[in-house]
Amino acid sequence: MTAVASDTTSIHAALGLTDAEYERICELLKRQPNHLELAMYAVMWSEHCSYKSSRRHLARLPTEAPWVLVGPGENAGVVDVGDGIAVAVRIESHNHPSAIEPYQGAATGVGGILRDIFTMGARPIALADPLRVGPLDEPRSNWIAEGIVSGISGYGNSVGVPTVAGEFVSCETYRDNPLVNVAALGIMPTERLVLGRATEVGSAAVLMGASTGRDGIGGVSVLASAGFDEAVDDATKRPSVQVGDPFEEKRLIEACLELLEAGLVSGIQDLGGAGLTCAASETASRGGTGMEVDVSVVPLRQHGMEPFEIMTSESQERMLAIVSPANVDRVLEICSRWEVSATVVGRVTGDGMLRVRDGVGGELLAEVPARTLHDDAPSYDRPMRPPADLAFRRSVDPAADPAAGSSSDCAADLLAMLADPSWVYRQYDHQLFLNTVVGPGRDATLLRLRDPRDGTPTGRGLAVSVDGNHRWCDADPRGGTAMVVVEAALNLACVGADPLALVNCLNFGNPTHPEVMWQLSEAIDGMAEACDALGVPVVGGNVSLYNETNGTNISPTPVVCLLGVHPDLVRRPVADELPPGTALMLLAPPGPAAHDVDAALDVAAEQTASVADGPARQVALGGSRWAWERRGCRDGALPELDLAGSVATARFVAAAVRDGLVHCAHDVSDGGIAVAIAEMCCHGGAGVHARVPSLGSPAPAARALFAEPPGRVLVAVEPGNVERLASAAAAAAVACRPLGSFGGSRVQIGRIAEPGFDIDLALEDTRARWSGALPEVFSQPVEEAAA
Amino acid sequence: MSAATNVPMSVTVGVVQFPGTNCDLDTIDALADLGARTALLRSDETSLGGVDAVVIPGGFAHGDYLRTGAIARFSPIMNAVASFAGAGGPVVGICNGFQVLTEAGLLPGALRPNAGLSFLCQPQQLIMASVNHALGHGLSPSDQLSIPINHFEGNYVCDRATLQRLHTNGQIVMRYVANPNGSVDNIAGVCNEAGNVVGLMPHPERATSELLGSADGRKLLEALLCAAASTRQAVGFHAA
């Protein structure tokens, strides 16, 4: 018996398959696929599911370490954190759904990532949401941003997993294509680890959770694997966005964890992108088995659904469990107690085929070798090429822009770049489970690590930081990505944690554009270099391509989620408040070429300002937030990265925080040292009197204040500890330089060896601007009352 | 002397779990940390099993669909909770639990969406208004506490006559120092006339350790355990 035939030669393009891909399917099947089979290949061979453009590049990332239990390729990466505890971590994008329907797009992103975590047997304990949106003063971007935050709040809070970290970035590159990345962490006893495999022939495939509807059909192929052409098309794509139900997901989590705890399922897989097709074929092909699915018993939300709709629907809150026949009744009973629908929809077979039938022994609707949906997915070595104007762009100095001149108002620049993100994270429950020691809004989040068996605190902590920087990666995808990884490590160091594992979400444009493939390849190399330097494995990731609108690609935006461990929470960073007289010091990799942090060299550089070798001694301003946002200049070279020195700095800072040598620490990131100092003042409720290194000559104030050379950390130090910190830093070959002290009611920042202050603001005004920036831009316009 | 040593070790607190409740385990952890025994009470149960006090914890009972607490109030367990409350047993609703208690008519007033129409999870400064209730033992009026809030619907409302009654009877349990949600008279928590049923929007279980930012919530939970112990001696609920 062969599956029912239908002529499919003319429809593959509409499903997102190329002519060559269609021919390959015919070759594999030795016949034409029918409509349902073609739909299954279309979703599984989509960019989103198959990584066909990125696979060969991703292979260059380091993925191994003794503590890695599960690396890339499974639902989530899993690492051993000691005490018999394993941590599952995963990051995904939900960019295109969020562009079309921000609330549901973001909400279902949260739901999907949680299923990836509890699929592994882990209880989800934390979410992190790096978000990127268009200019907030434009109504549509404002609406998208508010919808995304509401969606995460509405779903995450209700499903009962705290959102403990995130980013909130606004830039015109994301105007029509926002980036919604979602990361999740889960913990489990190491022995609980479950893999999504169907190994035992004869086992039942149990579909759990929500009924299957027409929502989200073709989500991965229509939405995630193509760019946007015209905004007017958005409405036609809206039915491809799924609709989330956090209450269903909450019950599904509890039911699945109980099934796993009781050892009643041998494999489990969530139904995300590509729905039942993906779950059935993945569990079968990973287990080296086949599966027969009966679409007639799948609980449906709507009447008259076609088999291809049932097999590719992306309706949310569904799981596929592989259960021994002897355990089926107990599984159904536990699901019933949690009010979770559960139906046996198939069984594991031994012949490697994925068959879809209409009723037991009924019509054979599809029959394909399960592994061909995965293993035979195409892998492309797409052409790549650096942009033609690369050399020119890198030769530009944003500070030399004649329009900028010397009249720049540094105080105004500073104020424009300050924004307290609490408007975002206070909408998220970030405290549930009683683990949050350092919450969102700081360098990194620090959570209590408790034994998942009985909740006993281990005394240790888990640290998380999510980071990306499209400006750096636009200037230089390789160096920029390495800087992003370094920043994440410095963020962990600021809460006293050491890095353990990384997951990435690679958000790029259209991979058929050679410049985009070059960016992707370069970014992966930069990430590999930084991870190697830190000794951190990449345990999972997600690639989001086709982030383009009308042919314009977004700036390359690799985002990383770095997981770390804090060995002893007793030695955590102390409260924010900065007592008057607290010293402000800079820790950084030594080396005048990048940082010029040594006072003697700083002065020497200024004295030789007129000498022709000046430019070589400057820290570049390319890719800085100041250049992009305050000068409208996207050109320029990135500052140099001293990887080894930055790693040494991160290790030193983490140790200094744990040893109580510093009161608190804050890494210098976008906006440069002035923004970082002002943020410390706002958090600490104290003014400051500081002089910062000039970073080379010629030395306009903006370079000293707003350049973003990597590897720098600011620390607030009690006066009695200044000497100890300085000698410890010297022993660790980390540069340590006093910049001034906190206290008073003014934020005063100047340059070393320059008279006066470049910035002199009232602390009160600075804080008002910082805390008011986001609430102001999101305040609702007053509606005129109808007469 | 550590406050925890004041707590009678034999007190058992029942913590109600509706489908969608998510602060149940946190509440149990916090109470257990104070030395109490705890029992998880599923919403489809009809008996409280002889507990000495009941906490209805925070979360999203039944997904908060329809209206917060509107479906949960019809759960079988709520009949048992109402009988227990009617007999003077201490019942505390935290956040979503407060919403359930107002829907069930065990507390006056209602909780509307926050005035700013956004969810708020943040530390909150509170002032105790009265102490003649199940969370008052060991506290004084005007004691200031720092306890986080975590809600979308925390905007307490009631009619003028009810508000007058709350004042007259000392039924306002605590107020916000800076009102985050538009709540009438800055009310953060109220009790019934007898004082044995208390509802509050802040989450005391989230403020039980300096490691998590504040330990002020322990004072309220310890007060509940004392109320449970004394009610038990007086009424003998454990035999019920």
Give residue B161's region: left, alpha or beta (phi > 0; psi -120 to 50): alpha
pLDDT at B171: 98
Which residues in chain B are contacts of A430 at CB distance < 8 A?
121
A646: closest CA among A596, A709, A569? A709
Q: Which of A35, A48, A57, A595 is catalytic?
A: A48
Q: Locate A299 and state its tokens.
A: 């609980």
pLDDT band, residue A399 (cuts 50/70/90): confident
Q: Locate B100 and state its tokens.
A: 């359930």
Which residues in chain B are contacts of A246 at CB distance < 8 A?
60, 63
In this model, does residue A706 exceed pLDDT 70?
A: yes
State what percent of residues in chain B have pLDDT above 90.
Answer: 88
In this model, does residue A787 exceed pLDDT 80?
A: no
Burial per residue of B91-109, b for 16 or more beta-carbon CB atoms within 10 angstroms, e otherwise: bbbbbbbbbbbbbbebbbb
pLDDT at B71: 92
Using CB atoms, pick whichever of A153, A422, A434 lies closest to residue B206.
A434
Nearest CA in chain B to A427: B119
Nearest CA in chain B to A571: B211
In this model, does residue A598 exceed pLDDT 50?
A: no
Give B135→chain A minimum CA distance, Å: 21
- Name which of A157, A450, A451 to mutate to probe chain B: the one with the most chain B Cβ atoms within 10 A of its Cβ: A157
**Percentages of chain B per state (helix, strand, coil), in multiples of 5:** 35, 25, 40
pLDDT at A604: 42
In this model, does residue A781 exceed pLDDT 80?
A: no
Residues of B forming the active site: 95, 203, 205
- Strand, helix or coil at A431? coil
pLDDT at A606: 43
Q: Which of A12, A35, A57, A94 is catalytic?
A: A94
Which residues in chain A are contacts of B60 at CB distance < 8 A?
157-158, 160, 246-247, 250
Query: Is the preceding omega at residue A589 within 30 degrees of 0, hence cis?
Result: no
pTM for this prediction:
0.93
Give A672→chain B minimum CA distance, Å: 29
pLDDT at A36: 87
pLDDT at A16: 86
pLDDT at A594: 38
pLDDT at A722: 97
pLDDT at A766: 98
pLDDT band, residue A607 (cuts 50/70/90): very low
Strands B144-151 and A583-588: unpaired
A250: closest CA among A327, A314, A158? A158
Identity of the residue numbered A562: L
Give B87→chain A minimum CA distance, Å: 31
* ipTM of model: 0.93
- The per-residue pLDDT for range A735-750, each reduced to its tens digit, is 999 999 999 999 999 9
pLDDT at A225: 59
HSE at residue A715, side-chain half, CA atoms within 13 A, is 38
- Strand, helix or coil at A224? coil
Task: Report CB contact under 8 Å: A429, B30.
Answer: no
Task: Report CB contact under 8 Å: B121, A339.
Answer: no
Task: Report CB contact under 8 Å: A434, B121.
Answer: no
Task: Kindly give, in sequence order, each residue whose CB lies less than 8 Å from that of residue A787, ignoring residues fewer than 6 positions away.
Answer: none
pLDDT band, residue A286 (cuts 50/70/90): confident
In this model, does residue B239 exceed pLDDT 90?
A: no
Which residues in chain B are contacts of A160 at CB distance < 8 A?
20, 22, 59-60
pLDDT band, residue A309 (cuts 50/70/90): confident
- The per-residue pLDDT for range B178-236, each reduced to its tens digit, is 999 999 999 999 999 999 999 999 999 999 999 999 999 999 999 999 999 987 776 55
Chain B residues bordering chain A (beta-carbon distance below 8 Å): 19-20, 22-23, 25-26, 29-30, 59-60, 62-65, 118-122, 148, 150, 152, 203, 205-206, 208-209, 211-212
Element (H, E) at A127: strand A123-133
Q: How many CB pairs under 8 A join A and B?
A: 80
State what percent of residues in chain A have pLDDT above 90.
Answer: 75
Nearest CA in chain A to B63: A247
pLDDT at A699: 65
Task: Report CB contact under 8 Å: B60, A250.
Answer: yes
Using CB atoms, pick whichever of B65, B211, B212 lies closest to residue A247.
B65
Give B61→chain A minimum CA distance, Å: 9
Residues A347, A351, A353, A356, Cα dihedral to 10°: -40
- Name which of A150, A153, A245, A431 to mutate to probe chain B: the one with the most chain B Cβ atoms within 10 A of its Cβ: A431
Nearest CA in chain B to A572: B211
State what percent of residues in chain A have pLDDT above 70.
Answer: 91
Known catalytic residue: A470?
Answer: no
Which residues in chain B are contacts of A576 at CB distance < 8 A?
none
More confident residue, A682 or A227: A682
Give B62→chain A minimum CA distance, Å: 7
pLDDT at A215: 75
User: What sign results for the dihedral spanned by CA atoms B235, B237, B239, B240?
Assistant: positive
More confident residue, A784 or A401: A401
pLDDT at B232: 73
- The per-residue pLDDT for range A485-537, each reduced to its tens digit, is 999 999 999 999 999 999 999 999 999 999 999 999 999 999 999 999 999 99
Residues A232, A109, A490, A749, Cα dihedral to 10°: 50
pLDDT band, residue A690 (cuts 50/70/90): very high
State what percent of residues in chain B have pLDDT above 70.
Answer: 93
Give B160→chain A minimum CA distance, Å: 27
Using CB atoms, pick whichever of A160, A425, A437 lies closest to residue B212.
A437
The pairs formed by A19-22 with CB atoms below 8 angstroms and a separation of 24 or more are: A20/A378, A21/A45, A21/A378
In this model, does residue A610 exceed pLDDT 50?
A: no
Using CB atoms, pick whichever of A247, A425, A572 lies closest to residue B62.
A247
Task: Kindly give, in sequence order, each residue whose CB lies less than 8 Å from that of residue A630, ignoring residues fewer than 6 positions away.
Answer: A408, A413, A416, A417, A702, A706
Name the average pLDDT for chain A.
Answer: 90
- Strand, helix or coil at A84? coil
Task: Report CB contact under 8 Å: B122, A426.
Answer: yes
- The per-residue pLDDT for range B72-89, each reduced to its tens digit, is 999 999 999 999 999 999
Task: Say how far residue A295 (Cα) sits from the centre of its chain.
Answer: 35
Task: Report CB contact under 8 Å: A427, B62.
Answer: no
- The per-residue pLDDT for range A102-136, each reduced to its tens digit, is 999 999 999 999 999 999 999 999 999 999 999 99
**Mean pLDDT within A274-302:** 91
In this model, does residue A732 exceed pLDDT 70?
A: yes
Q: Residues for chain B: how many in total?
A: 240
Nearest CA in chain A to B29: A455
pLDDT band, residue B35 (cuts 50/70/90): very high
Cα A699 to Cα A529: distance, rounded to the nearest angstrom: 31
pLDDT band, residue B134 (cuts 50/70/90): very high
pLDDT band, residue A683 (cuts 50/70/90): very high
